[in-house]
Amino acid sequence: MICGPLVDWLNNASWAPLLASVITIALILVFGFIVRNVAHRVITKVVNRAATGGSLASRFRRGTATDGIDALLHERRKQRAETMGSVLKHVASIVILGTAVLTVLDRLTIPIAPLLTSVGILGVAIGFGAQELVKDFIAGMFMLLEDQYGVGDVIDAGAAVGTVEAVTLRVTRLRDADGRVWYVRNGTITRVGNESQGWSRAYFDVPVAYDADITAVRAVLEIVAEEIWADPEYRESVIVEQPQVYGVEQLSDSALVFRITAKTLPSRQAEVAREIRLRVKSALDAAGIPMVALA
């Protein structure tokens, strides 16, 4: 469609077909790069829109621990969107530029059918030889799409337990409590326990003697729960809901066990549990109610 008019425009010179082919190939390549750049810009806009979409909770609840949860969810959404955007850009580049290259080869009268057949056979051979790699990539894709975990989460991946430092389509990098770094292939993760997604729960079991006044013990624990909920240091930045005092959670050979719990921001349960232990011990001592050891 392009070569004919160009040859006529060049007055059918002997070198006109060659020049026309060169110009046509250049136009195909330029058009391919333009389409690629447009596709990348569209993907970037979609990714930015998905990454910056705010939640309704962050618009109407301010100054509470809910804002912290919204910030964490926003960061997770941003990381997932950026990773998927990177994958889509690579796929778009391969498809668009690959099509442009095949079109150029066809314009040069190079038969592309044997080339496609060879590429297909090579792809099958590579697929058989790189099954584990393909498995890792597919698992990584689903992991990102389903938002199973993200950077900063504390997870139990079976092979290792630790804080997620990096997530790619092939591997997940964890750092355990001892500082050891683990590289876990996504295809080998058969189950994931996420300890810091959405919210966490701190709890403390309080064992008291059988002859202790149950009503008095419960009243002391409820006072502790109200005090820690009223403390701005915890209510505004750590604890999500008012702590709850359960009844007798357990009966052992030597004690009655009460339980006090608090819903917290992700990965903040240990901090809150330590504060609950301290306050419960002080409150029971002040009330003259001794704690006993479990048998």
What is the secondary structure of 241-269 as a DSSP string?
S--EEEEEEEE-SS-EEEEEEEEESTT-H
What are the structural domain ranges in the chain? Answer: 3-129, 141-194, 200-287
| Range 141-194 has CATH code 2.60.40.10 | no
Task: Please answer whether residues 88 and 1 qualify as being in contact, where contact means their C-beta atoms are separated by less than 8 angstroms.
Answer: no
Instruction: Please give the Cα distance from 148 to 93 (Å, whole number).
Output: 28
Contacts of 107 (CB under 8 A, 6+ apart): 21, 24, 25, 28
Least confident of 163-167, 183-187, 221-225: 163-167
Instruction: Please give the Cα distance from 84 to 144 (Å, whole number).
Output: 8
Helices and strands counted in the chain (H then E)? 9, 8
Q: Which residue has the higher pLDDT, 88 or 114?
A: 88
Task: Please answer whether residues 147 and 164 qualify as being in contact, where contact means their C-beta atoms are separated by less than 8 angstroms.
Answer: no
Choose the most confident range, by mean pLDDT, from 31-40, 57-66, 136-145. Answer: 31-40
Q: pLDDT above 90 covers what percent of the chain?
A: 21
Does pTM top 0.95 for this prediction?
no
Quickly count: other Cβ atoms within 10 Å of residue 274's Cβ.
12
**What CATH number matches the domain at 200-287, 3.30.2290.10, 3.40.50.300, 3.30.70.100, 3.40.718.10?**
3.30.70.100
Where does residue 244 fall: left (phi above 0), alpha (psi -120 to 50 degrees), or beta otherwise?
beta
